[in-house]
Each structure stands twice: as C-alpha cells, then as structure tokens.
C-alpha cells in the first residue's frame, strides 16, 4: 500500500536537507525513515528473516584468508592468545 505524502513531507523531500527523511508519528509515538525505493531495495535483504549460520562462510573465509597469511605457522600463537596473557 502506498501512502500519499503531505505537502510538508513533499517539501522536506524536495529540500533534501535531511536525507533520509525522518517522520514522527505522534499517535503511535514512533519515528520512521523515508528512503527512496531504490535505496530500500538494495538494503531489503538485510531486513529479511532468514536462518543465517556463520559456519556456512567458514570455507570461503579459509579460501580468502589462508593465502593472505593466516595459514602461516606464526599465526598459531593467536589461537592460545589468552594463555599467554599476564594475569591482572
């Protein structure tokens, strides 16, 4: 459902001083943000509920970070970083 903007809202959008435009709903005591549809479409996947599991990205991380130096044996000391810290 599309809602028609008030004259005040249209003027604020045209003015462009506040981007994105924040709209206050006094009745619901909530603030909303008006963004262009193109911007929302780029961000929409961030708002979707999904079953994200970071472990799905481990193989990709290994592929990218390994050649960048993470496979270097010197990096193994970071695996036991807390064991090497001095007690406060």
43 and 62 belong to one structural domain: no
b/e 60-69 (16+ beta carbons within 10 angstroms → b): eeeeeeeeee
Position 22 in a domain: yes
Domain that holds residue 29: 16-47
Position 8 in a domain: no
Q: What is the pLDDT of residue 30?
A: 93
pLDDT in tens, 6-64: 888 888 888 877 678 888 888 988 999 888 889 889 988 888 777 778 888 899 988 98
Strands (E), the chain: 21-25, 30-34
Q: What is the pLDDT of residue 10?
A: 86
Sign of the C-alpha dihedral, residues 17, 20, 25, 28? negative
What's the token pair of residue 86? Answer: 């001095």
Q: How many domains does the chain have?
A: 2
80 and 59 belong to one structural domain: yes
Q: What is the pLDDT of residue 88?
A: 65
Position 2 in a domain: no
């Amino acid at each position: 459902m599309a809602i028609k903007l008030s004259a005040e809202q249209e003027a604020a959008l045209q003015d462009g001083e506040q981007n994105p435009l924040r709209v206050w709903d006094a009745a619901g005591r909530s603030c909303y943000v008006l963004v262009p549809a193109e911007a929302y479409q780029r961000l929409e996947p961030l708002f979707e509920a999904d079953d994200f599991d970071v472990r799905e990205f481990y193989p990709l991380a290994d592929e990218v970070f390994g050649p960048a130096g993470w496979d270097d044996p010197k990096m193994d000391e970071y695996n036991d970083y807390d064991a090497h810290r001095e007690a406060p």
